[in-house]
Amino acid sequence: MTANAALEHASQDEKVAEIVSQNLNYLEVALYGVFRSAQENDEIPSHKNARALARFVLNTVQGLRVLSKGCLGKNRRQILIDVVDVTIEAI
């Protein structure tokens, strides 16, 4: 719903833009917490920027939502899997 609201309404409605921004910030903060915890437990490298990773994954998830709606055909599943695989490798 966030992706739809951002794409369809946020540029025209300040209230929608604010809600979208708050939602994306909430998700970013949650992902940041997950990545910091993973670094503290040596599950992902500590030299990686946890904030940047959170933003990258948030952007990827939102992009996957858009891509999944617009991508048709036999390759759809593989395209989405490729994006997820590259995202996991980046972490």
Q: How confident is the model at residue 77 (pLDDT cuts 50, 70, 90)?
A: confident
| Higher-scoring residue by pLDDT: 15, 34 | 34
Closest CA to 31 of 4, 59, 51, 61: 51
| Higher-scoring residue by pLDDT: 6, 77 | 77
| Phi and psi, residue 27, nearest 5° | -65, -40
Closest CA to 89 of 30, 48, 51: 48
Provide Rg for the chain, Cα atoms.
15
pTM of the model: 0.78
Tokens (6 digits) for 55? 């933003």
